[in-house]
Chain A
Amino acid sequence: MKTFFNIIFLGVATCILLPSCSDEFLEQTPEQSLSVDNAVVDLISLTAAVNGVYSNMQDANVYGWDLPLIPDLRADNVYVSQQNAGRFIDFGDFELTDQSGRPEDEWTDMYEIIVNTSNIINRVPAATFLPREQEGADQLLGESYALRGLTYWNLLRMFAPPYTNNGGDSPGVPITNEGTTGEIIAPSRESVAVGYQQVISDLITGIDLMTTNDDGRLGKSAAQGFLAKVYLYQEDWVNAETQATFVISDDKYSLYPDSSAWFGSYGSNFGTEDLFALQNLPADNFGVNSIGGIMDQNGYGDILGTQDLYDVYSTSDYRRSAMVFGDRVDGESGVYFLSPKYPKGELGEDYIKILRLSDVYLIRAEARAETGNEDGAREDLNDVASRRDIEYEDSADSGDDLIEAIILERRKELAFEGDRVFDLMRHKRTWTKFRSFEDEVISWDNDQLINPIPRAEINVNPNITQNPGY
């Protein structure tokens, strides 16, 4: 109050009549924001900027909800209950339009990550770090590269045909590494192949800069694991195996020995297989609008598992208990609920598993099988499968059977973690899309498996082209 009277006194007496003083009076500064120029200038601001990127990865339309769910929903693992709150039915029914909200938000959020990581990458060279801070700064810079590479790859997986379609010749996504320059851009799409080059380059640069693997962050080994998977999608079997071997030999990570370790790793936990899991805390406040919330019968509970998937598991495979038989309240009876992998449910506090060691084993298995090292392939396959199924008998498959067995094992292992449809697409399969009423046979090149470029982007970007079928 005293200040108030002072201001008034000054105002009346002298100040306002003087132009210089009124200039000062008109100076206000934001108190909840940094200016863009000060966003990445030292270790403190760099750390915060990288945290911001992870926070963006947590969003519902990135890893919070969409990416762990949609690849299973488009494939043969899950379907939308006939009793639903209207979420994801566009994906389940293959009825997406260029105005559908989720593809638009996925596009928006992922390019936010691209621009924020690019800003970090472009501004770190001019930032100042003490000598003792340099290693930490390099790690953060490396994470930023790896996060950008991963995000470009996610954009390519969601908005473009698989690399194997025609060696990456199809339209991919815009590659925009300039960050915030003051210029407004409206870029065109690069080919899928150019996109994959960018993904690989970012991951490699990140791997070279990084030295550590911290829980909840995309560290060096996780980046190598992603790189292995990217090579696998390109059918670059040799590089896939090499990178996978780097990861498997990192003794920080090991396969879960038994069912209790496996189940114990879900929820708000990091397990020994978690190369990269996003840590959702109560303060992040995702609640029911999360992958857990849509699996939880106390939340939406709209996503159910298919009988087809359930039947794939042998009775002694404990992963089968990730599907719980029950009756939906006021809805279908005798269906499979999927909450065991998301036990925190509608609280939205489940950590999101983005890359696990078993995935990397199966990547190496597939790469080895494709390059004729069938013994090595079977060894990797058995390493995973024998830990999940106590009655598992080591595989003696070879040739196409072996590859088939590996893909099947991937389906069993990675169900409800956002992987399945990409395996089906890169292998150019057809499959049955199970629905609550009408099943449909889907081919890998169905237009609806690839998101539309959102109308909101097309409206303002004359250089961009739409995907077929929209």
Chain B
Amino acid sequence: MKQLHFSYILILFLLMTGQTLSAQFTAQGTIVDEEGITIIGASVLVKGSSSGTVTDFDGNFVVNIPTNKATLIISYTGYSTQQVPVSAAKPTVNIIITSSSQLLQEVVVTGYGETDLNTFSGAATKVSTDIVAPAARSNFAESLEGNVAGLQVSQGSGQPGAFQDVQIRGLGSINASSNPLYVIDGIPIFTGNVGDVSTTSSPLAGINPQDIEDIQVLKDASATSIYGSRGANGVIVITTKRGKAGKAKISANVQTGYSDVSLDDKLKPLTGNEYVELFTEGLVNRSDFTEAEAIARIEQSYDLEQNTDWFEEVTQRGRFTNANLSASGGSDDLRYFLSAGYQDNEGTILGSEFQRYSSRLNLGTDLSDLITINLNASASLTEQKTVPTGGTFANPVRAVFRLVPLLPIRNEDGSFDQSYNLGYNPVAEAELNKRQSNILNLLGTLSATVKIPFVDGLTFEPFLSYNSVQGTDEVFLPPTSGAGNPLGQGIADNDTQNNWLVRNSLKYKTRFNDAHGVDIILGMEAQEFTRINIEATAENFAFANLTTLNNGADPTFIGGERTANSLVGYFFNGNYNYKGLVYANGTYRRDGSSRFGSDNRYANFFSFGVGINLDRFDFLASSNVITQLRLRTSYGQNGNQAGIDDFASRGLYNTGNDYQGNPGTLLTQLENPTLSWEVNKPFNIGLDVGLFDRINMVVDVYSRRTSSLLFEQPISRTNGVEDINANIGELENRGVEFTLNTQNITSNTNGFTWSTSFNFTTNVNEVIALPDGDFADGQRFRRVGQPWNTWFLNGYDNVNPENGRPQWFVDGDKTEITETYNDSEPYEQGTSDPDFFGGMRNTIGFRGFSLTAQLNYRWGQKIYHRWHSFTHTDGSRGLGSTGNVARSVYDRRWQNPGDITDTPEFVVSRNFGGRNASTRFLYDGSYVSLRDVILDYTFASDLLRKVKFGSVRIFAQASNLYIYTKDDRLERDPRTDVSGIIDQEIPIPQTITFGLDATF
């Protein structure tokens, strides 16, 4: 094969050099797209020769042909390559090129400008609107999971609108944020939790996914270094839809359905009878009760006739509705996109809900031939109801697994029974309490592109934006609820996060000598984030329907605080290409941030990358087999400063530590004057291969080393604080990303199509350096050479078959066992990072029908259930109302000498330590989930034309229909947040919806 290629090249070479000088002529022409718009910078190569050129600003080209006839190869990003014959007799051609059917993206939007993918040395993945728009989810980031190689979305909670923990290319930070930077239409935005009331919220959930044109996930140095101190963990660039000149297009979309949550039989809470059976045995096992006495004892506490299924009581079928209307269009000098959207997404746990009202106006207008103005304005309001999480009494998910089934929900008189769980009856709490958090998200940008006269290709682009995220939380806990008992409580919390941005850039784009293409961006920007928070609480309320603070007789708390940080950046980006064949990209950025000490306030960032388009070289240019072959590499340095306090470097005494109603201050933070950015050095080699125009393959091999990690370094408590903010240690992530897009069957006569997108990522995280050596950190051990997220737990070794007592390995040698927990030592137990993860999306089409199925997988991660030490107590917590145990304790408990099991003898109110932290509660979290299934039908266009519709599509969609879990012991959905810790969150629901899209 290799020889064949070589001879082919040789023949080409001979042909080129052996040609006669008999005739030559000048070919010329114009290249336009299907809509007649001229194409600037298209590559024009003379087949079989080294000569070629690119089109100018009017789409014109002129090329010298050494023979009297030739074939021109026209190529341009996003369009099919064409071969056009020219001859001395017909030297002028006007060429219309058509959009490519290739699945790969063609333009990379970096937020500072657009780059032709064909001359881009970085790693970036585009996610189309087709993936995020139809999903019945509130936060578009949820839908990225499984669709982008290298990107993991860790969804811990099924709360609608929840924050999504996103990591690109592994854990890049320890105590600062490891989440990517989000940029909407050029503005880096605030994406953290808003307000104090909502347990999980995200301003990203305010973005209507239907407004999104596309999402670019930027991963390596070439792609992200222009973001300087904020680019280390990748950048997600969201571009919203824009109008195009032409007839107005109106789209309407309605989608409705419901969501459910279900439990496997092996996970259902114990029934009343099972509880009595188990606890009777547990009391008898204490040997001071007979069976009859034991039952009598349980009867003292509970009504044995009761049988409450707490799972049924606190869950509900949630409804889902999405409705959207948009219009776009415009004239040559005014283009618009307008939209309005509504979503109602009710959770599956009583008291959880999310609603969104959104609107957007994107306008573009040409003031003159030289000046174009763009205005983007969007407003969204989200209204979210959340429930408390974690170990709190008010958490309904905790109640499902902790409340004894013999407890009634209501008293005989119909009132709620609030005599247990500290008064927190979960059904009563859901019905009586109000926990509402609203976020109003306003975002406006005004930008311009000013062509500088007399200098072709030079533009000045000023950019202004203002973003205000206003969280308004209201909590009302009436005196009748457990949380409000005895006086009732109200909380009002206003949390405003504003940021403004000014950016000025000069862009220069030129082509010279028909061969050299140069793009330059030079600019500076300043951004300031301000947070203002005001919170007040009152107690002593009389009326359940009068919930504002004025109705509370005792104002109990008022707080207000303000904080800010500012950032200044200067940036340069340059791209050079030679005839589109080889190219180089370089970036430099200098950033200053208020977050760091004056010694370390500024830092420099850079990247450099090169690439080669082998498919454009003569030997491949006409190949029908290899339609694309690109090799690229990049290296650089960027930084991270997200997720730390605005004043993390200062030594601080905080106010608010009051006594006797007088102001008090306490030491809260030690000073570190040298605190600085995390430094990330990404290296990437990528290969893009296209075969037969039907197969596209992208392989990236990367490493990124992050040093000077921002870290809350634990110190001796005798220093008066628990830790100090420091830059310590180094982490490295190494990995391989593989994406394969294939059109397995393209539409032929019978109208059947099948395409597949598959991606696979394996990432290895490794601690490279720790300043004070390896250390134990609670249930983790941080060791050089191991992943950061390595578990450190006592090893559990089933129960002693003789006596039913729990046993632990004395240490990691696993040679000795002990029945005394304190005699065993914790040791390393694997990591919560997956070995590999990814997704596969198959779409089958047949005459207007299409069926899409998305499978996501994640494999090899170890996850820990923090609260199993309360549901797997083996009776040690006694007969308390929150002392119910998991079904597995009932199913697998040791009962007789010789029983081999992992669950100790059940003994009421005796603590043999089985509930202590150990590998008993560590599980293999590997799973494959059927994430989405979408079936749709698009009506034939000739039929619609008669009724004046552009297109009509109906669809049915289902999420999370099935999940395969590797570990039989695991007593929950294996999807956790990024920590790998299960924390009694709302389960992720199954959702089924039906919808209609129409354009006219």
Contacts and interface: CB of A to CB of B under 8 A. Distances in A.
A95 B911 CA distance: 8
Interface in A144-187: 174, 176, 179-180, 182, 184-187
Interface in A31-65: 31-39, 45, 47-56, 58
A398 interface: no
Nearest to B302: A330
B670 interface: yes
Nearest to B533: A32
Interface in B254-289: 286, 288
| A32, A53, A329 interface centre (most CB from chain B within 10 Å) | A32
Interface residues of B, number: 96
Contacts of B288: 437
Contact of B870 (A7, A33, A86, A176): A86
Nearest to B724: A184
A99 B526 CA distance: 47
B395 to A, nearest CB: 13
Contact of B913 (A95, A115, A456): A95
Interface stretch (B45-53, B204-212, B559-567): B559-567
B654 interface: yes
A469 interface: yes
A80 B654 CA distance: 37
Contacts of B528: 7, 25
A48 B663 CA distance: 5
Contacts of A37: 651
Interface stretch (B366-374, B380-388, B617-625, B709-717): B709-717
A52 B665 contact: yes
A26 B601 contact: yes
Interface in A445-470: 454-457, 459-461, 464, 469-470
A122 to B, nearest CB: 12
Interface residues of A, number: 94
A45 B659 CA distance: 14
Contacts of A455: 776
Nearest to A331: B301
A216 B724 CA distance: 33
A81 B301 CA distance: 13
Nearest to B913: A95
Nearest to B558: A283
A185 B908 CA distance: 45
Contacts of A97: 821-822, 916
B641 interface: no
Nearest to A179: B720
A254 interface: no
Contact of B660 (A56, A184, A185, A216): A216
B556 interface: yes
B557 interface: yes
B524 interface: yes
Contacts of B564: 28
A285 B716 contact: no
Contacts of B594: 26-28
Interface in A96-110: 97, 99, 107-108
A191 interface: no
Contact of B554 (A26, A32, A116, A282): A282
Nearest to A28: B594
A435 B593 CA distance: 58
A212 interface: no
Interface in B404-427: 407, 419-420, 422-423
Interface in A392-441: 435-438
A182 B568 CA distance: 30
Interface string A203-220: 000000000000010000
A261 interface: no
A11 B527 CA distance: 10
B650 A26 contact: no
Contacts of A17: 524
Given A26-B593, A457-B716, A459-B714, A469 B822 contact: yes
Nearest to B912: A95
Given A8-B502, A285-B557, A54 B719 contact: no
A83 B878 contact: yes
B653 A12 contact: no
Contact of A283 (B302, B557, B567): B557
Nearest to A12: B502
Interface string B84-110: 000000000000000000000000000
B722 A33 contact: no
Contact of A85 (B720, B879, B882): B882
B660 A54 contact: yes
Contacts of A330: 301-302, 407, 419-420, 881
B397 interface: no
Interface string B627-670: 00000000000000000001100111111111111111111111
Nearest to A1: B466
A31 B659 contact: no
A25 B568 contact: yes
B660 A30 contact: no
Contact of A34 (B502, B567, B653, B722): B653
A285 B556 contact: yes
B720 A35 contact: no
B657 A35 contact: no
A284 B568 CA distance: 41
Given A11-B502, A28-B566, A48-B665, A93 B715 contact: no
A459 B776 contact: yes
B677 to A, nearest CB: 14
A347 B780 CA distance: 37
B464 interface: yes
Given A281-B660, A331-B301, A55 B666 contact: yes
B667 A85 contact: no
Contacts of A34: 652-653, 655, 665
Contacts of A4: 466, 500
B785 interface: no
B911 A185 contact: no
B670 A180 contact: yes
A89 B775 CA distance: 29
B877 interface: yes
Nearest to B822: A97
Contacts of A85: 393, 422, 880, 882
Contacts of A470: 822
Contacts of B714: 456, 459-460
B60 interface: no
A39 B715 contact: no
A283 B665 contact: no
Contacts of B663: 48, 51
A99 B916 CA distance: 10
Nearest to A287: B489
Contacts of A114: 718, 720
Contacts of B407: 330
A47 B776 CA distance: 39
B563 to A, nearest CB: 7
Given A108-B717, A185-B718, A12 B504 contact: yes
A22 interface: yes
Nearest to B498: A4
Given A16-B502, A51-B665, A116-B720, 5 more contacts: A25-B528, A33-B654, A36-B653, A216-B659, A282-B539
19 contacts: A17-B524, A28-B564, A33-B655, A37-B651, A38-B653, A50-B664, A51-B658, A51-B662, A51-B663, A56-B666, A111-B720, A112-B666, A185-B716, A288-B422, A330-B302, A438-B909, A455-B776, A457-B717, A459-B714
Closest 9 CB pairs of A and B: A115-B720, A51-B664, A36-B651, A82-B878, A52-B664, A52-B666, A54-B659, A83-B880, A33-B652
Interface of B: 286, 288, 300-302, 393, 407, 419-420, 422-423, 462, 464, 466, 485-486, 500, 502, 504, 524-526, 528, 539, 554, 556-557, 561-568, 592-594, 601, 646-647, 650-671, 714-722, 724, 772, 775-778, 821-822, 870, 876-883, 908-911, 913, 916-917
